[in-house]
Amino acid sequence: MTARHFLTLTDLSSDELTTLLHRAVELKRLQHQGELYQPLKNKVLAMVFEKSSTRTRVSFEAGMTQFGGHAIFLSPRDTQLGRGEPIADSARVLSSMSDCIMVRTFEHEKIERFAEYSSVPVINGLTDEVHPCQLLADMQTYLEHRGEISGKIVSWIGDGNNMCHSYMHAAKLLDFQLNIACPEGYEPHSRYLEEASDHVRLMSDPAEACKQADLIVTDVWASMGQEDEQARREAAFAPYQVNKALMDIAKNDALFMHCLPAHRGEEVSADVIDGSQSVVWDEAENRLHAQKALLEYLLVE
Ligand code: CP
Ligand code: NVA
């Protein structure tokens, strides 16, 4: 039997995603009440990180421990993968010794190749193209604060990057309207735009994108791997900062989200990210609960 992977949000159906989000809320309640629930006793998650991480690493590691299993952190500095061992060989070997593999890497094709040769589920912990685990947490956070997101208006302000692509997937699966405001030259890939065309409106004016918005989301201007573009990007993105003036255009009860890490004074002003409409700390914590729901879904019979 081929393993069930989670490489993009669209590896789940709308119903599966909705069920998983509600399960994440339930798992959070159990954990906050201190109830022991260990469905993954003796199970092992291998975590391959080719880029830095705080939230993804800690949430998967803590989640596996809480579930009674174990997680192994693998960095390119210490593995043979980092010395050029082929992806296919690494995937075969790691999957023969573990029950699930999480991969954070650069090119999306790399994780697809990894999954092709893995006999156990592969989870995408971020590629240059998408960040589906973050969307599980974001959508759980919206659900907890405001209820179902279907029919709502979400504004994506800034770079048409991996997070933006995953928001486009979420818009399609959960049936919300996504207004994307990007500077010219930084739009999302056309393939993603075509796939989600019914649910996405692309514009250049951030104020226009925030009208009637229920949720405003942004991300760093230079993602991991783009550090040398920082100065050029700062100039292009300067009018795209999410600040009080932009939040005031949205609905009064609009929420603010950011996957973190954030740069106060760049993509978001300090008064917004640290203000009353921001739910970024719940969003970060929900990485733990949403990924536990994902692990349970992929690994528990
Ligand atoms: N949001 C997120 O993925 O954070 P890390 O890079 O710290 O894992
Ligand atoms: N777009 C960012 C997200 C970090 C969690 C990056 O890829 O660096």
117 and 210 part of one domain: no
* Separation of CA 220 and ligand 2 centre (Å): 7
The answer to whether 219 is a known catalytic residue is: yes
Query: What pLDDT, in 10s, does the model give residues 38-61?
Result: 999 999 999 999 999 999 999 999
268 and 171 part of one domain: yes
68 and 118 part of one domain: yes
Which atom in ligand 1 lies closest to the alpha carbon of residue 259? Answer: 1
Nearest to 174 by CA among 145, 136, 123, 219: 136
139 and 275 part of one domain: yes
What are the Cα distances from residue 228, in Å, to 20, 185, 187, 220, 221? 38, 17, 19, 14, 12
Ligand 2 pocket member 24 (CB < 6 A): no
251 and 152 part of one domain: yes
Residue 151 CB neighbour total at 10 angstroms:
10
**Tell me, what's the pLDDT at 2?**
82
pTM to 2 decimals?
0.98
140 and 273 part of one domain: yes
* Separation of CA 33 and ligand 2 centre (Å): 32
**Tell me, what's the pLDDT at 216?**
98
Which atom in ligand 1 lies closest to the alpha carbon of residue 284? Answer: 1
The helix/strand/coil state of 58 is helix
Ligand 2 pocket member 161 (CB < 6 A): yes
Say if 3 falls within a structural domain: no
Say if 223 falls within a structural domain: yes
Ligand 2 pocket member 56 (CB < 6 A): no
Catalytic residue, chosen from 159, 287, 289, 291, is: 287
Catalytic residue, chosen from 259, 282, 289, 291, is: 259
245 and 294 part of one domain: no
Catalytic residue, chosen from 23, 99, 134, 289, is: 134
Catalytic residue, chosen from 11, 159, 214, 219, is: 219
Read off the CATH number of the domain in which 54 is found.
3.40.50.1370
* Separation of CA 1 and ligand 1 centre (Å): 32
Tally of domains in the chain: 2
Which atom in ligand 2 lies closest to the alpha carbon of residue 162? Answer: 1
Say if 1 falls within a structural domain: no
In angstroms, the CA 35 to CA 282 distance is: 20
In angstroms, the CA 58 to CA 283 distance is: 14
Angle at alpha carbon of residue 247, lines to 244 and 249, rounded to 5°: 115
Please state, rounded to an integer, the average pLDDT across all residues of the chain. Answer: 97
108 and 204 part of one domain: no
Residues of the chain with pLDDT under 70: 1
Say if 169 falls within a structural domain: yes
* Separation of CA 76 and ligand 2 centre (Å): 18
ω into 121 cis (within 30 of 0) = no
The helix/strand/coil state of 271 is helix
Say if 138 falls within a structural domain: yes
Of the ligands numbered here, which is closest to the C-alpha atom of 127?
2
Full strand arrangement of the beta sheet holding 200-203? 200-203, 177-181, 153-157, 215-218, 255-258
The answer to whether 11 is a known catalytic residue is: no
In angstroms, the CA 162 to CA 287 distance is: 17
* Separation of CA 204 and ligand 1 centre (Å): 27
**Tell me, what's the pLDDT at 63?**
98
The answer to whether 259 is a known catalytic residue is: yes
Structural domain harbouring 195: 134-279
Query: What pLDDT, in 10s, does the model give residues 96-116?
Result: 999 999 999 999 999 999 999
Task: Print the SS3 string covering 224-241.
Answer: CCCHHHHHHHHHHHHHHC
292 and 231 part of one domain: no
99 and 153 part of one domain: no
The 10 Å CB-count burial string (b at 16+, else e) for 245-259 is ebbebbbeebbbbbb
153 and 216 part of one domain: yes
273 and 143 part of one domain: yes
Provide CB contacts within 8 A for 189, sequence distance 6+.
Answer: 129, 160, 165
Structure tokens belonging to residue 18: 């909705």
